[in-house]
Structure 1
Amino acid sequence: MRLDITGLSVAVAGRRLVHDVTLTAGSGRLVGLVGPNGSGKSTLLRCVYRALRPAAGSVLLDGADLHALTARESATLLAALPQEAGTDFDFTAAEVVAMGRLPHQRGSGRPSAADREICARALARVGADHLADRGFLGLSGGEKQRVLIARALAQEPRVLVLDEPTNHLDIAQQLEVLALVRESNLTVLTALHDLNLAAVHCDELHVLSAGRIVASGPPHDVLTAELLAKVFGVRAHRVQHPETGAVQLLFDRLPAS
């Protein structure tokens, strides 16, 4: 499923935080948003998964206006993993994943045998089936993230929106989570803090600065020393990953002017 964001502007408390953003995530593509803190990445994503309404512009799924759909209709097409996506109640991991089936349920809302099978497959797919009976609050950060991704997969969406899915994870867990996302074969729009992870895993990048897209394209073309100095205020040295060939970055401070 194709995701199109067209002329999107977002205002919060009378202040415009995102300005006229246009981008496309093609079917099955992993598209990244990068930018410094406060650049508008999370605000933009919140509008995409309907936590905010746009002040202008549209979010389209295969041409259909996402904000014109009912909440249930949109939830069968798009799943989101916000930065703070946990729960204050100590449900089991299996119960958390089962929440992903709610948009598909009717009547009593009780999970069917088919729902339970879908949830079990989602947990197994992320390598977390052994966590099914564990309390969610007692899981490690990486385990929680696996369970939340399983919940999103159990929702059976066609588009996945992720806001900093590797936050607070160690490097092995970061690589595992992004590999799971890549292997989902869904259309994915994600904000990422780590530019090197974004360069390796994303098909395309959009760089935000002060709520505007200032560069777009394949990571190798976008992550230039000039852009990184201008947007992030750092001096970057580009190297090539010895196995994948992806651009990787080494950073130091800009020389004093």
Structure 2
Amino acid sequence: MRVDIEGLTVELAGSRIVEDVTLRADGGQVVGIVGPNGSGKSTLLRCVYRALRPTAGTVRLDGADLHAMDARAGARRLAALPQESAAEFDFTAAEVVAMGRLPHHRGTPFAGRTAADAALCADALDRVGAGHLAGRGFRSLSGGEKQRVLIARAFAQQPQVLVLDEPTNHLDIAHQLEVLSLVRASGLTVLTALHDLNLAARHCDVLYVLDGGRVVAAGPPHDVLGAELLAEVFGVRAHRVTHPETGALQLLFDLTD
């Protein structure tokens, strides 16, 4: 499923947080959104998963205006993992993942749940390496364990588009690599904000760089993450090297003089 963000602008409390952003993610692409703190990444993604209505512009899924869809129809197409999950569910991990099936059923959270739903949820937990957490209370989990359960919930939703805002938060290095590899192998169209530029370079097909709420560069990671741009946008001196096994771009950083 193709995602088009067209002329998106967001004004909050009299300040323009995102300005005239246009972005495209083709079906099956992993598109990364990078930029310094306060550049508008999370605000942009909040418009994509409909937690926020833009001041101007549209978000389209295969040409259809996402904000014109009813909530259930939108949730069958798009799942999201926000940067911060404020709710502390008094449920088991398995029950939290089962909430991903809500767009496919009507009624209370677990009404009409089928054996097929249960199998999908169990598989989603296993895919993120969290099957052993199924019976644990969500509130008892560590930050990294909660993150993996919430990613499993998004997989259980069976969307065509996945929006992830800093999905590697709280994860150790091994689980960062595993989760992003799973996301990449999922075949979904993915929009993700990432702070780690090396993870972005390795796992994303296309990067959009935001600075001051505007897109200042876009393209394949190797083309976008140049030393001049990194110095200007992130305030660091970057040394570009090639990973000896994968051939992916890797960046080594120093502070600018």
TM-score bracket for the superposition, by shorter chain length: over 0.9
- Kindly provide the CA deviation profile for residues 43-100 of structure 1, in whole angstroms up to 9, marking residues without a partner as x: 0000000011011111000000000000111000000000112632331000000111
The match for 2:115 is: 113
**Alignment equivalent of 2:157, drawn from 155, 160, 171:** 155
Once the two structures are superposed, the pairs formed by residues 177-196 of structure 1 within 5 Å of their partners are 177-196=179-198
Match of 1:137 in 2: 139
Tell me the equivalent position of 1:62: 62
Aligned mates of 1:51, 1:21 — CA distance in 2? 17
Unaligned runs of 5+ in 1: none
Partner of 1:214: 216
Q: Give the CA RMSD over aligned residues.
A: 1.2
Deviation per residue, 1:80-139 (Å, 9 max, x gap): 000112632331000000111111112455122332222122222222222110111222
2:147–2:169 CA contact under 8 A, matched in 1:
no
AA partner of residue 81 (structure 1) = L
**5+ long unaligned stretches in structure 2:** none
Q: How far is 1:219 from its partner?
A: 0.4
Tell me which residue corresponds to 2:247: 245
1:11 match: secondary structure = strand
Q: Distance in 2 between matches of 1:19 and 1:196?
A: 26
C-alpha separation in 2, matches of 1:157 and 1:2: 13
Structure 2 CA distance, aligned partners of 1:75 and 1:89?
Answer: 20
Alignment partner, residue 146 of structure 1: 148
Q: Does 1:228 align with 2:241?
A: no
The letter of the residue matching 1:9 is T
Percent identity, please: 75
- What is the CA distance between 1:29 and its match in structure 2? 0.6
How many Å apart are 1:140 and its aligned residue? 2.5
Q: Which of structure 1's runs of 4+ aligned residues deviate more than 3 A?
A: none
Task: Provide the residue aligned with 1:29 in structure 2.
Answer: 29
Rounded to whole Å, the distance in 2 between the matches of 1:177 and 1:114 is 24
String of CA shifts for 1:207-256, please: whole Å, max 9, x gaps.
0000000000000000000000100111111111111111111111112x
Distance in 1 separating the partners of 2:223 and 2:32:
14
Q: Counterpart of 1:87?
A: 87
Separation of aligned partners in 1, 2:48 and 2:102: 20
Q: Aligned equivalents of 1:180 and 1:25: distance in 2?
A: 18
Distance 2:198 2:108 in 1: 46
For residues 107 and 41 of structure 1, what CA distance do their matches in structure 2 show? Answer: 34
The TM-score with structure 2 as length reference comes to: 0.96
Matches within 5 A, 1:155-174: 155-174=157-176
How far residue 171 of structure 1 moved from its aligned partner, in angstroms, is 1.4
Question: Number of paired residues?
Answer: 255
